[in-house]
Amino acid sequence: MPASTGQGLQISAQLTRRVGQVFYSMLFENNTQVVVDGFMIQFNKNTFGLATAGPLQIVPLQPGTSASTMLPIVVLQNMPAGPPSSLLQAAVKNNQQPVWVLQR
């Protein structure tokens, strides 16, 4: 999500695999004038059955700073009915802004 869409908050994310474990590798960049904190994430139901294995662990971001994290992912069996889709949506929230939806 570019900073222009996220009111100054930029989020880059991709799925990665390390030693057999799947992670959502995320980079947060705070281009706002305020501290951004209280990050939370939730994946929408998806064809792959991917879900977060725990809460998003990210430090409060001071203006002009960035931080990265590796969010562990689990594979669940509650996949949505209907045709498969390669779309993965994640809703990201913090204490200062509305909910942002990341799509891959």
CA distance 30 to 65: 6
pLDDT at 6: 65
Q: Which two structure tokens, joined as six digits, stand for 43?
A: 């994946």
Q: Which two structure tokens, joined as six digits, stand for 32?
A: 């706002």
pLDDT at 7: 75
Residues of the chain with pLDDT under 70: 1-6, 78, 80, 104
Mean pLDDT of the chain: 88
pLDDT at 45: 86
Domains assigned to the chain? 9-103 (2.60.40.1150)
Alpha helices in 8-95 (DSSP H): none
**What residues have CB less than 8 Å from 74, skipping those under 6 apart?**
22, 50, 51, 52, 53
In 3D space, the residue among 12, 66, 58 whose CA is nearest the CA of residue 39 turns out to be: 58
In 3D space, the residue among 67, 60, 55 whose CA is nearest the CA of residue 10 turns out to be: 67
pLDDT at 99: 79
pLDDT at 48: 87
